[in-house]
Amino acid sequence: MILFDGVCNLCNHSVQLIIKQDKQDYFRFAALDSDYGKAMVVRYHITTDSIVLIEHDQVYTQSGAALRIARRLSGIYPVLYAAMIIPKFIRDPIYRLIARNRYRWFGRRQSCWVPSAALSKKFIA
C-alpha cells in the first residue's frame, strides 16, 4: 500500500509512473487525506505528509519508502535500490529537501487526482 499526497503534482506523477512500471500489479494506493489514508495515519502513527509505503505491516517513509517501491518496479528502477547502502542520515535529508519544496518546484492541484475507471481498482478510497 502506498499513501501519497493527493494534491502534490510530483506525488501524482510518481503514482502514475509506479502504476505504469508495476507489471506485477503489486501496489495499491490511497491519498493521505482520504478516509482510508487518514485511518492508516492513525493506525500506524504516520507523521509525514509525503509518500509512505506500508508493506507486511511495516511502515517505510522518505527515501526508504521510495527505494523500496523502486525495487518492485520494472525496467531500470530496481537498480535504484542499491542506494540503500547510502546511510539513511545522508539519503533522508535529500528526500526531505525535495519533499519540503515539492509544491514550489512542481506545483499542486486544487483537489486530489481522480484515476480513470480502469485504474480505480488500484485505489482504496
Sheet with 52-55, strands from edge to edge, namely: 29-31, 2-4, 52-55, 58-61
Q: Check: CB of residue 109 under 8 Å from CB of residue 117.
A: no
pTM to 2 decimal places: 0.89
pLDDT digits (tens, 9 = 90+) for 9-28: 899 899 999 999 999 999 99
Which DSSP string do the residues of 82-123 spell out, in sequence order? GGGGS-HHHHHHHHHHHHHHHHHHH-B-SS-----TTTGGGB
| Residues ≥6 apart with Cβ < 8 Å to 11 | 4, 5, 50, 51, 102
Per-residue pLDDT band at 50 (split at 50, 70, 90): confident
pLDDT in tens, 85-112: 999 999 999 999 999 999 999 988 776 6
